[in-house]
Amino acid sequence: MMTVDTIEELRAELRECVFTPAERKALEVELAELIRQRNEALAAEEGA
């Protein structure tokens, strides 16, 4: 699965599903990391 697809899936899950505080925090951390990776890749493409 592409990073952007995973980001959208995690966003949808966070919007629509009920999680424990610990589960929600873990998903938010995962989402933030994927967004960071996506932004790095985009910046690298722009600099190429």
- Residue 47 — pLDDT band, cuts 50, 70, 90? confident
pLDDT at 48 over 80: no
Domain ranges, residue 41: 3-47
Number of domains in the chain: 1
Contacts of 24 (CB under 8 A, 6+ apart): 14
In angstroms, the CA 1 to CA 23 distance is: 22
- For residue 1, the model assigns a pLDDT of 61
Q: Please measure the distance between the N-terminal and C-terminal CA atoms of the chain and give it in whole angstroms.
A: 24
Predicted confidence (pLDDT) per residue in 1-41, tens digit: 688 999 999 999 999 999 999 999 999 999 999 999 999 99
Of the candidates 32, 41, 45, 43, the one whose C-alpha atom is nearest the C-alpha of residue 6 is 32
pLDDT at 44 over 90: yes
Cβ contact 10:27 at 8 Å: yes
